Chains A and B, each alone.
Chain A
Amino acid sequence: MLQAKNICVKVGSNTLLNDAELTVECGRLHVVIGPNGAGKSTLLKALCADVPLYSGNITYQSKCMNDYQPTELAQCRAVLTQNYDCEFPFTVQEIVDMSHFVHNEHVPYEQLLSYSKQALDTLNVTELANKSFTLLSGGEKQRVQFARVLCQLLPALAQKKPCYLLIDEPTASLDLYHQYQVMKLARDIANQGAAVIAVVHDLALAASFADAITMLEKGKVVAMGKPADILNRAQLQKTYQIDAQLSQQAEHLPSLNIAHTAI
């Protein structure tokens, strides 16, 4: 279980996160949503110590994040950030294999190679394996980095250990098919026992896959709960200033209906 209590993040005199809270059990997909500048990415960065906390504390399995050895956390937690570019011409295979670093000592090499292959297959990038990363399109780069992150978690998932996946806008540069495929993958990883926290902009995507949603606004948590309870007309009007509501037809995933008077 990942738990964040009363966390504040300040940069200079700006408060980016104010008293935010978050609890995610293993096996759950938790989506963080909110308008631009609400502090979604800051929350995710705080959870993986990329930004220092002004106050509050964060625990993984009831143990404070700062008490972990860096390698200990890397064995059970993978993070996909928004900046994933790399100027050096590594091949896709080499990038994905970098996730072996923290598992080298306790997982056999052949096993790690098969994890790499599994990750490449899952993200649909096996054909790119020998290509230079610098030559890929934005969406391909994002999927390759997701494959690297997945590969980092596979040993922990296989051993049924508690593990965590933090992903910041994993669908930002993906086409429609891959948006749903990647979110479904996040769902699958949660089903296999990981606690998954995803920052997502697309509310329909969030509603389609999330177990729970945290809505941020101006650095504060304004709503938290099941997607159907959070994404109602009043809340969307309040937070996004837009007249919209979720609708769902039989045998379809939820979609967002937006009133034409809204814009």
Chain B
Amino acid sequence: MLALSQSFIPVGSAKRMLVTGLLVACFMIGLISLAIGGVDISLSQLVDILSYGEANSLQHAVIWEIRLPRLLLTMAVGAGLAASGAAMQAIFRNPLADPGLIGITSGAALGAIATIVLGNSLLSTFSETYGIYAVPMGAFLGCLVICALIYKLSSQGNQFTIISLLLAGIAINAIVSAFIGILTLISSDAELRDLTFWGMGSLAGNSFKMITPSLVIISVCCLFFFKMAKPLNIYLLGEQQAKHLGVNVTALKKQAFIYTALCIGASVSLTGMIGFVGFIVPHIMRLLMGPDHRYLMPASILGGAILLSLADILARTLILPSELPIGLITSAIGGPFFLVMLLKTYQSRGF
């Protein structure tokens, strides 16, 4: 017994160390991200600005009006995407599942683009009711519809496999791009520019007022995802096995889908399409610390924040004075990574 417990405590504590390390790294990268950019701000200046917050200098405005809201949004979106990716991978018991691959993200895109294009005509009451939050609301509703559809499809008996789910995802993505195509055709020039940039993802130009609802939603969802860690672990044994071990499987699945819809809706609505974060981050974290969601979930949340902040630093600095769309960077890194993982999975299974 003694030998057994001793050999286990270090494993758990090593995982806790890793999570702590990620927390520190996240904080450091946050500081670096605040310091880097078009206007040079040294770290000591940065500390002054953040702690006193009185001086009405240019630097002060840059930090408080531009970089800090952008950093918070970046971290929240990265965390939300990664956490919902981890949850989806658990619910489908497949390490290759991702909210983007199964069509949830494009559902949100359709909702947002419909609001952008039809906001002045068909959906005018909707956009008047929600004001500046109309596009986020549209994205969230689109997300919810697709999640409900997928939940329905995956709950018909036990026949719904990951293959049919991915195929359904392809179909959903195709249908959604058809609708987006139609909306693009009927949009005006200004709307067209809006939605093209939106489609490539951008973290720029959001005030605190704009990002607060998303920050709150994503934080709450991440908390709930973290609380689901134990049942998610058991769910990986199999749906029936989890049921026999006392997990309320139906409730667990519903919760996972609702929180995913909320997370993806809240992030995609403000930033546009940012692919692959929800897939890569849980994957790397699983390689580092194993499949236990009690550690995997917080690690994914922190890892998502770190990865997207790094990508954002690249996006802002690579082609100064303009900037790259963040979605291009994550897809450029994530696409090849996904292919390598796919190849490795098939090689290790021997077919």
Contacts and interface: CB of A to CB of B under 8 A. Distances in A.
B163 interface: no
Given A95-B237, A113-B5, A129-B4, A90 B244 contact: no
Nearest to A117: B1
Given A90-B291, A129-B4, A70 B246 contact: yes
Interface in B248-300: 248, 286, 290-292
* Residue of B7, B244, B247 with most chain A CB atoms under a 10 A cut-off: B244
Nearest to A166: B244
A152 B292 contact: no
Interface string A9-51: 0000000000000000000000000000000000000001110
B150 interface: no
Contacts of B4: 93, 117, 126, 129
Interface in B1-59: 1, 4-5, 7-8
A101 interface: yes
Contact of A101 (B8, B94, B231, B291): B231
A248 interface: no
A88 interface: yes
A98 interface: yes
B324 interface: no
B350 to A, nearest CB: 14
Contacts of B246: 70-71, 73-75, 101-102
A79 B246 CA distance: 11
B248 to A, nearest CB: 6
21 contacts: A50-B240, A50-B243, A70-B243, A71-B248, A74-B244, A75-B246, A79-B240, A81-B241, A83-B240, A84-B237, A88-B93, A88-B95, A88-B286, A89-B291, A90-B233, A98-B233, A101-B230, A102-B245, A102-B246, A129-B4, A130-B7
8 A-B pairs with the lowest CB-CB distances in the bound complex, closest first = A74-B246, A102-B246, A88-B291, A79-B244, A71-B246, A88-B236, A98-B234, A50-B240
Given A70-B243, A84-B238, A98-B237, 10 more contacts: A70-B247, A74-B244, A84-B237, A88-B236, A88-B286, A88-B291, A93-B8, A98-B234, A101-B234, A101-B247
